[in-house]
Amino acid sequence: MPQPLEEPASDLLDVVPIVMRDIRSEMRSRRSHDLTVPQFRALLFLNRNKGSSLLDVAKFMGLASPSVCRLIDALVSREFVTRNEHPEDRRRVKLAVTDHGRHVLEICRKGTLAHLSERLSLLAPEEREAVVKALKALRSAFADGTREVV
């Protein structure tokens, strides 16, 4: 008899926040200390959502536009992000992460991957295989072509 869909859905709701909390904590602990947590979150968002606008960042962060403008100004002045005119509307800007910004994020990513590898090493080989299989299935079920968020 097939398992009711509510049970795996409930398990997913229980487990994903635990894993994401661990990933976020690890990423934040590895962030450059000259970046605030909101700046780091904005940088991650922009890296995953190429060509985003100030409004896109404001919606993601749940902040008012003036606050996001100051946050982005700080990232631009420290060469983590660039501002470019939008090709269709000169009043809008497209934001992009610089090589320097990507380098900072890559350091965080590599450290976090090492941390996750260490956590996964605690599982038996057959459990790791099951995790890989489940993650592939989840990617297939949830990948819908929309822009990724942090």
pLDDT at 23: 87
**Residue 84 neighbours by CB under 8 Å, 6+ apart:** 93, 94, 95, 96
Does residue 13 carry a pLDDT above 50?
A: yes
Higher model confidence: residue 2 or residue 10?
10
pTM of the model: 0.71
d(CA 40, CA 27): 9
Q: For 71-129, what is each residue's pLDDT tens digit?
A: 999 999 999 999 988 777 777 789 999 999 999 999 988 998 999 999 999 999 999 99
Interval 31-43: pLDDT, tens: 777 788 899 899 9
Q: For position 68, what pLDDT does the model report?
A: 93
CATH classification code of 6-142: 1.10.10.10
Longest dimension (CA), the chain: 60
Q: CA separation (Å) from 114 to 31, 45, 107? A: 15, 22, 11
pLDDT of residue 27: 82
